[in-house]
Every structure is written in C-alpha cells, then in structure tokens.
Structure 1
Amino acid sequence: RAIGAKVALQTVSQTEIAIRFVGSDSGRDVAPIWVDHADMTGDPGAQVQLYTAIDGSPGEFLVNNTTANNQQFPSVAMSATGSFVITWTSAGQDGDAEWETNIYAKQFPSNEVIRGATTSSTSGYQAEWTNWIEGARYTPYIVSVDDPANHLVAPGSGLDGVVELTVFTPFGAGLGSGTLLSSGTHILTAAHVVADPFGNLAAMAIDVAFDLPAGRVIIPASNVFIHPDYNGNPFTGHDVAIITLAAAAPTEAERHDIYRGTDELGRVGTKYGYGMFGTGDVGSVNNPDGLKRVGQNKYEALGGVLGASNMLLAYDFDNGLPQNDGFGQRINMPDLGLGLNEVSAAPGDSGGPT
C-alpha cells in the first residue's frame, strides 16, 4: 500500500481489542498482534493479524488453539526473512493452579510461505496449513465447474489405489491424498501433507484409507520419507514424500508406477483426490466427506509464470468465458478449458495423483 494509506487490519473480532506489539521484517511485512477479550468463540484469545507488502491484502487468523481461556500479554518477534514467533501468558494450564502462569510460544513461517507468494490459486497445499493455523486460507480454491456429485469415483472403478490420508500432528489432524505404488507397501504423496512449514516431519501418525467395493480398509503408516531438498515451501519444488505402510495394501487396490517423462506441457491430466469440494462460483465450501472425486485440467505453463520454480507445472481454472481465463488474461495464453470436465485442486487433494 502507499505510505500513509489506511488499512483495515481486523475484521473478525467483534468486541474489545487491544493492539500490543508490531513486528517487521526486511521485506516490509508486518504482524500486528492483539488480544480480543470476547472473541467469536466466547473465549479470550491471543490473535494475530497479518499484513503483507506483497499484495497489500490483510488476513487474520487465531494464533492459539492449544491453551484454553486466558491468553494475555502477547508479543511478536520477526526475523529478517519474515518468519515470526508469538508468545503469550496463560494461567491454569497443564495441571497448574488457576493463579499459576506459564509463557507459551508458537512459531509461524513468513507471509510469503503462508500465502504461497500470492500465486497459490492453482495449488491445494494450504489445506494443511489450516489445521496448524486456524482459518489461514487466503485464496479461493475451486473444484469443479458443475455439480461435484458428477465427479465421484466409485470403489471398483480401477482407482482403489488412490487413498485418503489422515495425518496426526502436534497441531491437530489434517487430510491429504496419495497413491499406492507398485511395491504395494508404499504411498506417494506431497511432502507438505506430512511436513511442517519448515520441511521437517510433523506427522506423528498417519492412517491410510483404501475404499474398496467391500468397504473401507485402513492401514497405519510405519515410516515416512520426505525429499531431502524440500524446504517447507511447495513453490520451490521437491514437494514429495513416500509413506511406508505397516502392512501390504489390499490386493484389490490397484498399484501405480511413477510417470517419469518430461512432455507434460500442453497435455490434459486427470486428477483424483479426497479434498474439499464445491463449484467455481462459490469455491470449495464443503468439507471433505470421505469420497473420491475426479476431473481434468491442462498443464499450460511452467511455474515461473506465477513466480514459482520452473520445476513445477501450472494450470488455471477455466469456466469457458474469456474474461475468466486466468492465463489468457494474465500471460496472454488463451485457453477456455475443458467444459464440465474442468477442475482444480482443493484443500485435501494435495498428494493425489494426476
């Protein structure tokens, strides 16, 4: 924003608010923090409001989801690269008497990582952030042009090796998707499904669900391997992880190999996942329901057109109208899409196959 321009930082909290501290990094990102003494959940809570110089769009989320009731005296410190730590004081926690206090802290990545450098409209990866940072979803996610019910995949359709992942972390449980590999004991997924925003393993346990004609079979994971070059930001690449199953997958579940070609540009890919769903006019407003969905899109460019790594492939979501053609309007690469077959990934689809 222009220097001196007024910005509405807070829009969710509705009652008594007290700004405490503001952190700043070398990129002019700032993180004001306040205490809302009667927020929308009915409990006082330490909240943070992000404002980023990348696109000037504020977006607030609840900082604390681990300690109850009185979170007071918050403070924030930011590094030169924009990552920040918020601390607060809470009484009566962890077995303490109601008058005994402790100081708690929570670390967050930079605004750029959270927002995906403002180019995350074609990626579903921020789904998992929402289990760590409540409400931190800054761009619209879209699944299908038409009724999502038209995109359901029934068990026994040849895709029973596409699985739903429930990932348990210290920050809560999240959902993702994955694919059974030819070994029958390994699942290919996205690293950000199982890692924290710094690229470290966050999953404490993972349940892998196979939907078969006879019903759902759940097998726990015994190990997880994250690509060693993954740094927590999917837009720099290497966003790959392998999950080892504690037992062999059901024989009914189809095994799949990894595509190793380099001719994806201009090709239509068929996408599968268990994520949130909705239609293009409203976005992914429906939470995952344990059902697998399918659709198509075309890889039209490399990630560099969106400011990401050229190790990535990029696509837009088209409804058939030129005025809504993302790449056509932005980079003069017109393509009106695939009609009712057109979809885009949504939160929870991360790790699913194309």
Structure 2
Amino acid sequence: MIKKAFAVGSVLTLLSGFANAGVIRHDVPDSSYKNLSYQSQFDSVGAVLFDTNDGGYICSGTVVAKHWVLTAAHCVDEATSMTFHLPEFNADRSGILGHKTYTATSWVAHNNWTGNLIEGWDVGLMYVEEGFDVGPAELYRGSGEAGSVGTHVGYGATGNGNTGANLGAGTRRAGQNVIDGMFSTAGTGEQLMWSDFDHPDPAATDSYGDVYNDWVNFIYGFNDFGFSSDNLALGLEYSIAGGDSGGAVFIEEAGEFFLAGVHSLGWQIGDNQAGYGNLYASTRVRDTLDWIDSYIAEEVPVTSTIALFGAGFMLLGLRRRRQDA
C-alpha cells in the first residue's frame, strides 16, 4: 500500500488557453463541476503561472485585495517570475471565453514557511500593481470549519476517482467535500483542514481488496489526528490534484461565501494519486490572518521576494515532492 504526500503544484504544460481540470466522481457529469466553478461567488479564483530555474509550473490563487493574490508558499518560494490569470465568462456564464493576465511585481512566502507541508504554513502572496476588476474574496475569521462543506476551486489536473489524476492541469473546476477536521505539527496544531475523497459506494474496494474509505480513518487514527471521516460521498465529491496548489476552499455561512483555506497537499494512500480513498489538506486561513492582513491592509508591495524552503517532513513515507502533470 502506497502512502505519501505531495505538494499539489503541477508542471506547466499549457502556455495559452487551458484544459479541463480537477478529479471528480466517476458517475457524475463533468459539466456539473464546471458549472459550479462558473458561479459568480468564485470569480476571485484564477490560475497562477510561474517560472523557476527548473521550468514552468501552474498553481491556483485567489484575489484577496485590490492588488493581492493569496496562494501557496510552495508556489512562490522558488519563483523567478509570476503571472495571474482571471477568467472572462460569456454572457450567460455557461463557459469561459479566455483569461485576463496580470503580471506580479513581487511575491512573498509566509515567514514561518520551511518547506515542511505538514506544519501548516503553506501560504504566500503575490502583488500585482494593476488593480483587479473582480471583488476580493472575504477571508474567513470564524472557527466553524470542521464539519462544514468546503467548496474547492482551482486549476488542477483532471481525472475521476477510479483513474486518479491522469490528465494535465488546466482550467477551473469546483467540487465539494466535508472538512473532516484540523491537524498540523506546528503553530496552533490545527492549521491544516483535512478532507478525503470518498467513493460513492461505501463498500467499494481498491485493487488490494481494501475498502477505500476504511484506509482514511486508519491514517487519521494512526497519526492521532483526533477526528474521522463519515465515509459519505457528496453529490459533487471532489479531490484536488497537481495544479490546485494555492486554490481556494470556500465555506458558506448565513448565505455568504468565505475563503477558509488554501490548497496545500495531497496524501496518496491507494492506487492512484488523487483517486478515491486519498486525503488532501488546505492551509487554514484563520491561523494565518495576522500575516495576510499585515500585507493587504497596507496595499503596498513587498520590498523583496522571499524564498524559504527546507527538507520535507517524514510521516508514514510522507514527503514533499513536486508532481509532474
């Protein structure tokens, strides 16, 4: 049984235009996930394209102020150039006509970021001198994430729960998953919001004969996460994958959507990366609010880029590694 975690950035394979993205249920039409991502409450989410000394990559990000994009630290820490791309929809919002490109002039990783994904400091900011036309996402400042339905929006690789992520990263897709609970090894100890990709049949088994959903609760229990999965798939059950790093987790309270998390990592347990029975986690916005607010409140660019990175954290074979699309 393979058990490993991975950052969910992806090698950039598309320079102009975008392909479909996101890992979905095998028994739900692809159009349902795309249509969810086209809803106006998610207009602040876009694609992040960046270059490093090793090549070009794609992540995701969310507008959180007039000049600022919130993304993952592992998307900015080695970047040499960065652009942000927001969708432009057709009149009835049934499709995307193209993307408007914004060039970042500076970017910064959280000052506590070391490259260790499980610590829960995987957030970064991009500064764009040209102001955005879309309204910023409202940052979540409450504490009701656990048990809530998270709506995930990003530009990650595609596939379905049976195949895993087997096609390249590209355009936006949105799906939903219950936030099982919070766990991290640093900070508050609750800086990562965890979800699992439930099979719609709770008794379904993988190629080893193991029930997909049983392994999730074994991992949660073995590592003393302090919570469990209900093993029930939502109608638009979903997993993030390569290219979703930095993307958004929204939760709804009193009819309003709030940005509660930033996509950070996936944990492969079974047959396929991002397939049924696997875990993924997003950095909790609430626990990094002071740092985020210190930048976006002033609306001025950072003075320099910050690149802090280090060795991955080992846990049942858990390690950070950049994934090819």
Is this a same-fold pair by TM over 0.5?
A: yes
Are 2:164 and 1:272 aligned?
Answer: no
Q: In the alignment, is the contact (CA less than 8 A) between 1:142 and 1:283 conserved in 2?
A: no
Q: In the alignment, is the contact (CA less than 8 A) between 1:178 and 1:352 conserved in 2?
A: yes
- Find the counterpart in structure 2 of residue 225 from structure 1: 108
TM-score normalised per structure 1: 0.55
Shift of residue 340, structure 1, vs aligned partner: 3.2
Shift of residue 237, structure 1, vs aligned partner: 1.4
Classify 1:318/1:203 alpha carbon distance in 2 versus 1 (closer, same or farther; 3 Å).
same
Equivalent in 131, 134, 140 of residue 259 of structure 1: 140
Shift of residue 262, structure 1, vs aligned partner: 2.0
Q: In the alignment, is the contact (CA less than 8 A) between 2:8 and 2:240 conserved in 1?
A: no
Q: Distance in 2 between matches of 1:189 and 1:263?
A: 22
Give ranges in structure 1 of 5+ residues lacking alignment: 1-54, 58-117, 132-140, 196-201
Letter in 2 for 1:346: A
Shift of residue 329, structure 1, vs aligned partner: 4.8
Q: Distance in 2 between matches of 1:152 and 1:243?
A: 26
- Find the counterpart in structure 2 of residue 143 from structure 1: 23
Q: CA RMSD in A?
A: 2.6
Superposed CA offset, 1:77-99 (max 9, x none): xxxxxxxxxxxxxxxxxxxxxxx
Shift of residue 235, structure 1, vs aligned partner: 1.1
Shift of residue 143, structure 1, vs aligned partner: 1.7
Q: Distance in 2 between matches of 1:314 and 1:180?
A: 23
Shift of residue 162, structure 1, vs aligned partner: 0.4
Are 2:216 and 1:327 aligned?
Answer: yes
Are 2:182 and 1:297 aligned?
Answer: no
Classify 1:330/1:145 alpha carbon distance in 2 versus 1 (closer, same or farther; 3 Å).
same
Shift of residue 194, structure 1, vs aligned partner: 1.5
Superposed CA offset, 1:34-88 (max 9, x none): xxxxxxxxxxxxxxxxxxxxx9x7xxxxxxxxxxxxxxxxxxxxxxxxxxxxxxx
User: In structure 2, the residue corresponding to 1:314 is in which secondary structure?
Assistant: strand
Superposed CA offset, 1:207-257 (max 9, x none): 1001112642101001102100000121111111111013111x2x23112
Letter in 1 for 2:57: G
Taking only the aligned residue pairs, the percentage that are identical comes to 26
User: In structure 2, the residue corresponding to 1:340 is in which secondary structure?
Assistant: coil
Equivalent in 206, 222, 231 of residue 336 of structure 1: 231
TM-score normalised per structure 2: 0.59
Equivalent in 122, 127, 144 of residue 244 of structure 1: 127
Shift of residue 315, structure 1, vs aligned partner: 1.3
User: In structure 2, the residue corresponding to 1:327 is in which secondary structure?
Assistant: helix
Classify 1:272/1:334 alpha carbon distance in 2 versus 1 (closer, same or farther; 3 Å).
closer
Shift of residue 161, structure 1, vs aligned partner: 1.3
Give ranges in structure 2 of 5+ residues lacking alignment: 13-20, 90-96, 204-210, 222-227, 250-325
Q: In the alignment, is the contact (CA less than 8 A) between 2:72 and 2:122 conserved in 1?
A: yes
Classify 1:328/1:258 alpha carbon distance in 2 versus 1 (closer, same or farther; 3 Å).
same
Q: In the alignment, is the contact (CA less than 8 A) between 2:85 and 2:101 conserved in 1?
A: yes
Classify 1:331/1:208 alpha carbon distance in 2 versus 1 (closer, same or farther; 3 Å).
closer
Shift of residue 328, structure 1, vs aligned partner: 3.8
Structure number, greater radius of gyration = 1
